Structure 1
Amino acid sequence: MASRTPTIIDLLKADHREVEELFGEFEKAESDTRHQAMLASQIGQALTIHAEIEETLFYPVVLNELDGEDADLICEATVEHGTLRGLIAGMNGHDAAQPMIQAHVTVLKEYVQHHVREEEKELFPKVEKLGLDLVALGERMLDLKQQLTDEADDMPPSARSSTIRVAEVSAPASAR
């Protein structure tokens, strides 16, 4: 049996599930600040790449096909991405054990949940009715995602302005 080629909507939903899992892991790792720092970094990078894909590939194509209130969904989503980037930037360079990092991740999760709910319940069903070649867009998304991931992986951590760099947690004096 041949498997169906994923559409861009399938791939965006898969990104949503991936980030939800990372948030869940972050919450479970509450006593392991090193692991939380790593997860916060992964969340930041995944969200940054996802937002870039939506803003450069998905939203422009969809915006050309929508009008009125439907087009407003794209504008709102773009503003939400700006807020997400601000929250990610607010965590850069901070100790993962600091309560403010926990607060940033909590608020980031709430924003992401709201954003995902609007996309999956309102925007995606409208897009599926537009008659766009969603499989071709999915193929372009995979290429762009690979390119963005490779670029992020090739940068030294200190140069990654768009991904979170939570400071390493030093061992307590009693453990040295």
Structure 2
Amino acid sequence: MDAIELLTKQHRAVDQLCERFDNARKEEMLELLAQIAEMLTIHARIEEQHFYPFARQAGLQDLVDRSIADHTEVKRLLSDLLQCELDDPRINGLFDELKRSVRSHVQEEESVVFPRLKELSSDDRLRELGEVMNRAAMSVPQQEVLKIARGEVPSPPAGLR
């Protein structure tokens, strides 16, 4: 699976979890929110460590900069959500804001970043990158999610700021 296919697959998985969250009973919401936070954390980590440096090298600096800003916003919203109690009246509004932010980010990636990168890269390079990203996704430490839950919004790697 190439890098773009991997990221698109992750986008769809987050969409499905968000739909489930929208229709969940209160007792299911916490588990779904934890799953969403974990998936988005893994996704952001592999993009920031592997995909965005690759996209920068291909000349997509401005798009990567916008994506990094999107990630910072998503991490902040996740942190706010994970610190809420289930009966907190802000939870639905925060979740709606998170969904809007994620959907906007996904839309830009899938309609602008991915097509441009396909034009600028070979299928072999995208496949190699996908393999690296897939392995990296399997090894994202749980501490990344826990930092967000504690209100710490992890910064992107130094080379991406």
Query: Does the pair score TM above 0.5?
Result: yes
Normalized per residue, the structure richer in helix is 2
In structure 1, list runs of 5 or more residues that go unmatched.
Answer: 1-5, 166-176
- Deviation per CA, 1:124-166: give whole Å up to 9, x if none: 0000111240000010011100001xx21xx6xxx8113589x
Equivalent residue letter for 2:109: E
- Deviation per CA, 1:13-60: give whole Å up to 9, x if none: 00000000000000111xx11201111111111111101111110001
Are positions 1:27 and 2:22 aligned together?
A: yes
Mapped to 1, the partners of 2:41 and 2:150 lie a distance apart of 9
Q: Which residue of 2 aligns with 1:127?
A: 117
Superposition deviation, residue 104 in structure 1: 1.1
TM-score, normalising length from structure 1? 0.79
Q: Which residue of 2 aligns with 1:172?
A: none
The one of 94, 115, 118 aligned to 2:84: 94
In structure 2, list runs of 5 or more residues that go unmatched.
Answer: 152-161
Superposition deviation, residue 101 in structure 1: 1.4
The one of 28, 47, 50 aligned to 1:57: 50
Amino-acid identity (%): 30
Q: Which residue of 1 aligns with 2:31?
A: 38
The one of 7, 12, 19 aligned to 2:7: 12
Q: Which residue of 2 aligns with 1:173?
A: none
- Deviation per CA, 1:45-84: give whole Å up to 9, x if none: 1111101111110001110111xxx421110010010000
Mapped to 2, the partners of 1:53 and 1:100 lie a distance apart of 30
TM-score, normalising length from structure 2? 0.86
Question: Which structure 1 residue ranges, 4+ long, deviate > 2 Å from structure 2?
Answer: 162-165
Q: Please, what is the CA RMSD of the aligned residues?
A: 1.7
Indicate how the Cα distance of structure 1 residues 135 and 58 shifts in structure 2: closer, same or farther if over 3 A, else same.
Answer: same
Higher alpha-carbon Rg = 1
